[in-house]
Amino acid sequence: MNKLDYFFNPKSIAVIGASRNPTKIGHVVFRNFLEGNFSGKLFPINPKTRELFNTKCYSSVLSVKEKIDLAIITVPAALVAKVLTDCGKKKIHAVIIITAGFKEIGNVKEEEKLKEILKKYKMRCIGVNCLGVYDPYSKVDTFFLPPYKLRRPFEGNISFISQSGALGSVVMDWMATKGYKISKFVSYGNATDVDESDLIEYLGNDEKTKVICAYFEGINKGRKFFEISKKVSKKKPIIALKGGTTEEGTKSVASHTGSLAGSTDVIHAAFKQAGVVLANDLEQIFDFARVLSTQPLPKGNRVQIITDGGGFGVLTTDWVVKNGLKLAKMKKENLDKIKKVSPPYVVLKNPIDLTGDTDTERYRVAIDAAIIDPNVDMIALIVLFQVPQLTTDVVDVISEAVRNSDKPIIIISAGGGYTEVLKKSLEENDVPCFSYPERAVESMRALYEYSKNNNKR
């Protein structure tokens, strides 16, 4: 068994520093496991407490007779080395050290001591200075933030790793609010042992993960990262956002996780050579992830735009060109199929403008014609749900088309409450929806570039 498996699929967990005090990290972590319906065994560790939530407390992991797969350490920094040594003697395979106060504040020697203990007992460690792991499938949740403050996403196929715990917590809450789903989330902090390369390699072999997203501040071992990312990116997309891209940001990185940010140009070049998809901001990470996790890879870069609003079609055309994609030229016989069900004023070019009196049948025929057309590689489908004759059954038509299509179909739709409800229905059927043409087309570009790079290697 890969020792990293114990972080995500442990059968027994010890929470070291579990406390009766609701303001303590150990209290929240232990309570989250109880309320999150973790099915394995739980051992609260606190020498000053005999019982916690009707569960027997132990003075140390060494006083637990049963096997422990994973230990979560929440005690103050001065006590970490002692309890980590106890974990080693207990032959615990994996530890998550949430505690901060090490090299990120200049306490390098104490963190080096932890590395020696980990090496001596052959333990794997996530942390120090981290939030740890969230896995909705196994119910492992080491976040010290209660669910009423930070919602957790449901089970999905996107995994996210982050050096920053605070950024990670915001991402989790935001994903849950947006309805985006997750496979695994890891906040790994200072990377005392397990680093970004180890996690990418593990997630590359994880059946529940289809796309890997990452926020990096520094790369621990450049060559190792390059070789692993190059290998994994052939199997599944890696989407990365790099923090510390300015001189001031680089200084902030050093005081945050104790990382060396490195040259932005060098790191970005390495990302590109390794097949890593670069994102410019957090929202773009998930724009790309939603498309790369749900849509087939295109064979080329020819985009057919279908719209019921001329202005949105024009804006989308501009962004297709700006992103280095091409406008598709559909065959006459396929355009004629649309012509048969449309009034004479419908525009049968690119964009195809079905106009504001369109109905669901017009959309169905147009989408089907674009799917079968050999000159079309991707479809940018603009649907303004507000038009008078368009009924809600267009959602079923679009969902079925996306499900059966061997070409990417990306939805662009803007509006208020009515529109958002219909878009949510589409998202629940793994149909990626965007409010703005630029974000949709940038995601199509990322999909095409990943497909192109993958075909070259």
Topology of domain 297-456 in CATH is Rossmann fold (3.40.50)
pLDDT at 189 over 60: yes
**What pLDDT was estimated at residue 245?**
58
Q: For the residues of 190-246, what is the DSSP string, one character each? A: T-SSS-HHHHHHHHHT-TT-SEEEEEES--S-HHHHHHHHHHHTTTS-EEEEE---S
**What pLDDT was estimated at residue 356?**
95
Please provide the CATH number assigned to the domain covering 1-129: 3.40.50.720
Domain boundaries, the chain: 1-129, 150-294, 297-456
User: What is the token pair recorded at 201?
Assistant: 């390699």
Q: Which of 79, 116, 124 is nearest to 99 (CA)?
A: 79
Mean pLDDT of 414-423: 95
Architecture of the domain whose range is 150-294: 3-Layer(aba) Sandwich (3.40)
φ and ψ at residue 56, rounded to 5 degrees: -60, 135
Mean pLDDT of 415-427: 94
pLDDT at 389 over 60: yes
Give the rounded percent of residues in the chain with a pLDDT score beyond 90: 84
Q: Which of 16, 217, 190 is nearest to 108 (CA)?
A: 190
Range with the poorest average pLDDT among 82-91, 175-184, 325-334, 364-373: 175-184
User: What is the token pair recorded at 317?
Assistant: 């055309």
Q: CA 323 from chain center: how many Å?
A: 24
**Rounded Cα distance, 149 and 455, in Å:** 44
Condensed to tens digits (0 to 9), the pLDDT of residues 236-262 reads 999 999 886 555 544 454 444 444 445
Using CA atoms, how far residue 235 sits from 199, 211, 444, 449, in Å, is: 15, 10, 19, 15
φ and ψ at residue 182, rounded to 5 degrees: -135, 150
Instruction: pLDDT band for 108, please (50, 70, 90 cuts).
Output: very high
**Rounded Cα distance, 115 and 98, in Å:** 15
Compare 264 and 24 and report the one with higher pLDDT: 24
**Rounded Cα distance, 256 and 129, in Å:** 9
**What pLDDT was estimated at residue 261?**
47
Q: Do domains 1-129 and 297-456 have the same CATH topology?
A: yes
**What pLDDT was estimated at residue 217?**
83
pLDDT at 298 over 70: yes
**What pLDDT was estimated at residue 272?**
87
Condensed to tens digits (0 to 9), the pLDDT of residues 328-375 reads 999 999 999 999 999 999 999 999 999 999 999 999 999 999 999 999
Q: Which of 52, 42, 29 is nearest to 142 (CA)?
A: 29
